[in-house]
Structure 1
Amino acid sequence: HEAGNVLALIEAQVQAHPKRAALRVPHTGQTLDYGQLNGRANALAQWLMAQGVTRDQRVGVCMERSAEMVLALLAIMKAGAAYVPMDPDYPPQRLRYFIEDSRTSLLLTHAAARGQLPEVPACRIVDVATLADLPPAHNPGLEIHPEQLAYVIYTSGSTGQPKGAANRHGSLHNRLAWMQAAYQLGPNERVLQKTPFGFDVSVWEFFWPLMTGAELVMAAPGEHRDPARLAALIGETGITTLHFVPSMLQAFVNDGHGADCPSLRRVICSGEALPMELQQQAQRQLPQATLINLYGPTEAAIDVTHWTCQPDDRGNSVPIGRPISATQTYVLDAAMQLAPPGVAGELYLGGVNLARAYLNKPGLTAERFVADPFSGNGQRLYRTGDLVRWREDGQLMYLGRLDHQVKLRGLRIELGEIEAALLAQPSIREAVVVAVDGQRLAAYVSLHQGQRHDEA
C-alpha cells in the first residue's frame, strides 16, 4: 500500500465524478462537489507555492470546523507541505509553542479563530477570506514522495512541552488504503467529521471519504460534545460512518440516541480502552452497525491494530486485535525479548506506518524509535509505553500504561506536563498529578516555606 499517495486517489475521484457531492457543512449551509472542492484547494495550493512554500515545510492551520479547514488541509498537502493543526480552543501560549517549535512561518486562519492567535514575529498569519477570490486552478501536479511529511500533530509531552509527531505520506496512504480494503466505504455513503483536528483520528475522517468518492459531512464547532445534537445531525444527513471515543459512545448510548440513527453502518472506536459492557450495550442499540475497535498512537499514522466486535464476545475488555497491513506488532519484555502468549509486555510497533520522527527532538526520537532487532535491514520500532498481551487466539489485549500517561475522554495526557506547569509557579515547591476514576485529574501541591495556600 505504501507506494501510492492519498492526494492522487482524491484527484482520481475528482476526475471520475466532478459533480458528485464531496463536502457538506450543515451549520453554514455550504456544499461543494468534487470539482469545486478540488478547484478551490488547487487555487490555495498554487497561492501557497507562489509564497515559496516547499516540500516538508510546515504550514499552520488555526480554524474552527468549516469548509475552509478542509480546503486548507488539502491545499497545504497539494503544495508539498505538511499541515500543523492548531485548535483555537487552546490557550494562546500553547499555540505560540506550536508555532515556534514547528518553525511555522505561514499560518492560515479565519475570522472565527483569528483572535486566539498570538503574534509571533517569524510567522505570517493569513486570513483565508482574503484569498476567497482566487480563481479555481488545475492540480499542481507535484510528485509526492512517500517519505515526504503530510502532517505534524502535537501530543502531550512528559517533560512539560508537547511534542510534534511528524507523519509521512507513505504511512498515511498505507493506513487509509488498508481502511478501504477492510471496510469498503461506498460512494453513496457519508462520513461525519467531528474529531478536533489536533487529534489524528480526524485525519481519516477528512481523507477516507474523499479518496473513495463518499461525502464528508462536518459537524459544527463544539457539536462533538453534545450527544443529542450529534444524533439529530446523523439522522438529518444520513451519516453511515463515524468515530467515537468510548466515553462519548457511552454518553451517546446512555441517552438512547443509537435508536435514532438507523443510517449508521459503522461505528469506529479508538482513543481509550473499549469496555465489553459498552460494546454489548452499543450493539443492542445499533444492531445494524458494525462496531470496530482500533488502536494506535499519533506516532504511527492513526491506527495500527484492528478488531471487529462480535455479538457473542465475552470477557471484561475488548481486544485491540491484529496489526493492519505492512505493520508489525511485538510484545517484548524489559530485555526486548519476545513475551510468550498470555504474558504481559510492552507493545513495540514496526513497519510502514511509523512516523518519521518527533519534530526537532532528536534525543526523544532516539529514545522512542529504536533499532529493530528482528529485521536485518536497519528498520526501527516505536516503543508505545503500552502494556499488552497476546490472547490464546492471537489477538492483542490492552492492559494499561507503563508510564504516567493517562487517557481522559480520548485525550492523551502526560501527567508530567501538568506537573511541570504547576512547578513553574514560583510559590509551588512540589506537585503530583493523578487521574481519579478515569474521569478527572487531581493535583496535590506543597508550597515553599512562608507561602500560604490562599496566596498561591
Structure 2
Amino acid sequence: HELFEAQVRQAPEALAVVHEDERLSYGELNARANRLAHHLIGLGVRPDQPVAICLERSVAMVVGLLAILKAGGAYLPLDPAYPCARLRQVLDDAAPRLLLCDAAGRAALGPEALVDVSVVDLETATPTWAELPACDPEPRALGLTARHLAYVIYTSGSTGTPKGVMVEHGSLVNYLHWSDRSHYEEAGNGSPMLLSFSFDAGVTTLFGPLLAGAKLRLANPIALIHALAALEDGQTYDLIKLTPSHLSLLNKRLEADKGPAPTRALMVGGEALIPADMQFWQEHFPNVRLINHYGPTEATVGCATFAISDAVGGLASIPIGRPIANTRVYLLDGHGGPVPFGAVGELYVGGAGVARGYLNRPDLTAERFIASPFVEG
C-alpha cells in the first residue's frame, strides 16, 4: 500500500478505479481508504490479524482492501458469489474478529455466520469514519513490516480440505514489482479485473494497475468480456488476465465482433492452457504479447511464466516456462535430488514468493514448507 501511496503523491488527480458510473481518482481513493483504515485501527486491527471482507466487486471493495492493508491487517477475501457453505467453512477456519461487508455479503454469509464477528457495513450512508483523518497511517507507528501478512487466501480444495495460505507483504511486493515491470512500464489504460478477489490470480490486475498509476476497471466478468469485444481504438488495455475458461468465451465474442485487440498483453493462468485458444490470438492479433502464467497459491500468485512463441501451434501442450524474479524452481525425485533432463519429477518452488505457511495448520506447514537443500536460508 505504500507503493500505491507513492502513486497518489505523484498524480493525485489521475483516474484510479472505475465501476459502472462511479469513478475515483488516486487522491479520492486514498482518502477514503485512509479514513476507513483509521477506523479499523481504532477497532483494534493489528499486524498479522486477518480481517474478512465480503463485498461485491465495487469501488467499496477496493477501498476496503486498501484500508485493511493500511491498518496493518491481512485481508481475508470472501466472494459473495461463492457458495454459502464454502464461505462459512473459510470463516469458521480463519475465525476473524472483524468483517467488512455489504448487503450482498450479508446475504451470502447468512445471519448465523455473523453472530461471532464484528461487522463493519461499507454501504452505510453516513459512516462513522467519514470525519476521521484522510492522512496515511504510519506503518512504523503500527509496528508493520514487510514480514507481516498482507492476505490470507484459501486454496480451492482440489487436493483436500481448503487451506488458508498466509502471504506476507514482502512476497506480494516481489510479485507485483516483477509483474508491473513486465506489463505496466508504459502504463496507459490499465486493466479490467476479470477474476474473483478470492482467487489469488486476481491480485495481478487488482493491485498491478494501482501500483503503476494506471486505471483499474471493475464490472461483472461476463459483462466485461462482452465489453472487451466491442472496445474502440485507443481503449486498448495494458494487460488482461483470465482463465482458459474465460478465454474461450472471449475468443467467441471477438470472433463475432471482429474488433481490434482489446489489450497489449494477454496473460492466462489458473488451468491448463489449450494451444488452439492461443492460436486464435496469434492469427487475429499477432502484436499482442501472449503469456502463460503458472503458480500455486503457496508461491504468491505466480512463480513461472512462458512467453508463447509462434511455434505454439505445433505444441501438444504449452509450457509453464521459467521462474519469475527472485524465484527458483526445481524438479526433484522422491529423494529430493534433481531429475535428469526429460524425466518426470515433482515441482519445488523457492525464493521471495514462498508464503509463510498455512493458517492454523502447523503440522502441514512443517511438512510442505521445507528448507532448501540448494540455497541457504
**Normalized against structure 2, the TM-score is what?**
0.91
One-letter identity of the residue aligned with 1:297? P
Query: Which structure has the larger Rg over C-alpha atoms?
Result: 1
1:239 alignment partner in structure 2: 237
**TM-fit CA distance, 1:133:** 6.3
> What are the superposed Cα offsets for residues 181-227 of structure 1, whole Å, 9 maximum, x if unpaired?
22344342221112011101111211110111001111226536xx4
**Other structure's SS at 1:367 match:** helix
> 1:261 Cα shift?
3.9
* Structure 1 Cα separation of the partners of residues 174 and 102 of structure 2: 32
8 Å Cα contact 2:39/2:129 also seen in 1: no
In 1, Cα distance between equivalents of 2:329 and 2:11: 38
Looking at structure 2, the residues matched to 349 and 201 of structure 1 have their Cα atoms a distance apart, in angstroms, of: 17
Partners of 2:251 and 2:163 lie apart in 1 by 34
User: Quick check: 340-349 or 121-130, which moved more?
Assistant: 121-130
SS in 2 for 1:360: coil
* Structure 1 residues 165 and 257, CA gap change in structure 2 (3 angstroms): farther
Within a 5 Å distance, the mapping from 1:49-448 to structure 2 comes to: 49-118=41-110, 119-120=112-113, 121-130=115-124, 131=127, 134-135=130-131, 137-143=134-140, 144-157=144-157, 161-220=161-220, 223=223, 227-232=225-230, 238-255=236-253, 256=255, 259-313=258-312, 314-375=314-375, 377=376, 379=377
Distance 1:41 1:175 in 2: 23
How many equivalent residue pairs? 367
Distance 1:155 1:236, change over 3 A: farther
Structure 1: which 5+ residue stretches go unaligned?
1-6, 380-456
How many angstroms apart in 2 are the aligned matches of 1:257 and 1:133? 48
- Where structure 2 has 5 or more consecutive residues not aligned to the other structure, the ranges are none
Of 2, 23, 44, 2:17 maps to: 23
One-letter identity of the residue aligned with 1:140: P
**What residue identity is the alignment partner of 2:29?**
L
The 2-side partners of 1:257 and 1:367 are apart by 50
Change (3 A) 1:257 1:171: farther
Matching residue of 1:36: 28
Deviation at 1:155, TM superposition (A): 1.1
> Matches of 2:289 and 2:155 in 1, distance apart?
29
2:321 & 2:159 partners in 1: Cα distance?
Answer: 31
> What's the TM-score, normalizing by structure 1?
0.76
Aligned-pair CA distance for 1:179: 1.3
Q: CA deviation at 1:109?
A: 0.6
Give the RMSD, CA atoms, in angstroms.
2.1
Match for 1:167: what amino acid?
V
Aligned mates of 1:187, 1:324 — CA distance in 2:
20
- Output the CA distance in 2 between the equivalents of 1:123 and 1:332: 44
Partner AA of 1:38 in structure 2 = N
Q: 1:236 to 1:218 in 2, by over 3 A?
A: farther
Paired residue type of 2:307: T
One-letter amino acid of the structure 2 residue matched with residue 138 of structure 1:
C
Q: Structure 1's 178 and 61: CA in aligned 2 closer, same or farther, altered over 3 A?
A: same
Equivalent position amino acid for 2:365 in 1: T
Measure how far apart 1:246 and its partner are: 1.6
Q: Which is worse superposed, 272-281 or 249-258? A: 249-258
Deviation at 1:345, TM superposition (A): 0.6
Q: Over residues 399-455 of structure 1, what are the superposed CA-to-partner deviations in whole Å (9 max), with x where a residue is unaligned?
A: xxxxxxxxxxxxxxxxxxxxxxxxxxxxxxxxxxxxxxxxxxxxxxxxxxxxxxxxx
CA separation in 1, counterparts of 2:159 and 2:348? 22
Identity of aligned pairs, percent?
A: 42
Q: Provide closer, same or farther for how the CA distance between residues 372 and 234 of structure 1 changes in structure 2, counting only shifts above 3 A.
A: farther
Contact 1:185/1:209 (<8 A) preserved:
no
Between 167-176 and 230-239, the greater mean CA deviation after superposition: 230-239
> Displacement, 1:180?
2.0
Amino acid at match of 1:69: M
What amino acid does structure 2 have at the position aligned with 1:228?
H
CA distance in 1, matches of 2:76, 2:352: 21
Higher helix share: 2
Output one character per residue of 1:280-328: Cα deviation in whole Å (capped at 9) or x when no partner. Answer: 2222122231111110001111000111112244321112111011111
Q: 1:10 aligns with which of 4, 7, 12?
A: 4
Larger displacement relative to structure 2 (131-140 or 147-156): 131-140
SS in 2 for 1:116: helix
Deviates more, 1:108-117 or 1:54-63: 108-117
In 2, the alpha carbon distance for the partners of 1:264 and 1:159 equals 34
* One-letter code aligned to 2:293: L
Assess if the C-alpha contact under 8 Å between 1:64 and 1:221 holds in 2: no
Q: Equivalents in 2 of 1:232, 1:239: separation in Å?
A: 13
Amino acid at match of 2:220: A
